[in-house]
Amino acid sequence: NAGVTQTPKFRVLKTGQSMTLLCAQDMNHEYMYWYRQDPGMGLRLIHYSVGEGTTAKGEVPDGYNVSRLKKQNFLLGLESAAPSQTSVYFCASSTTSGGTAGELFFGEGSRLTVL
């Protein structure tokens, strides 16, 4: 099983460039999330989605946009990249049923460097 797949795994951007990170999950999960992880800061939620066609802001949404046109895909966009967006980005998904509802299944991460 592929689980949660992120592309690309690595990317280097120049300030002001745009890019999109793609997340795909094959577990039929309702919820999907984008987190960023920085040294000393832990995982911080950027945006999330409760289902196809819906998105919502998390803790640190500024500078990012998201879309969920299909249930299995969640895209994270940077319209004008800034050095402060240099980070490791993790996509995750979760189901809403069962005792551990909310357990996150993570992708392998995407390391983004903005010069």
Partner 1 sequence: GQNIDQPTEMTATEGAIVQINCTYQTSGFNGLFWYQQHAGEAPTFLSYNVLDGLEEKGRFSSFLSRSKGYSYLLLKELQMKDSASYLCAVRGSSLYSGAGSYQLTFGKGTKLSVIP
Residues that bind partner 1 (CB under 8 A): 31, 33, 35, 40-45, 48-50, 56, 58, 90, 94, 96, 99-109
Residue pair 85/26 in contact by the 8 Å Cβ criterion = no
Residue (17 or 67) nearer to partner 1, CB? 67
Cβ-based burial of 47 (10 A; exposed 0-12, middle 13-18, buried ≥19): buried
Least distance from partner 1 to the Cβ atom of residue 69, Å: 18
DSSP 50-63: SSTT--EE-SS-TT
> Of the two residues 14 and 62, which places its CB atom closer to partner 1 in the complex?
62
Report the nearest approach of partner 1 to the CB of residue 15 (Å).
26
Q: Find the shortest distance in angstroms from Cβ 42 to partner 1.
A: 4
Structure letter (DSSP) for residue 64: -
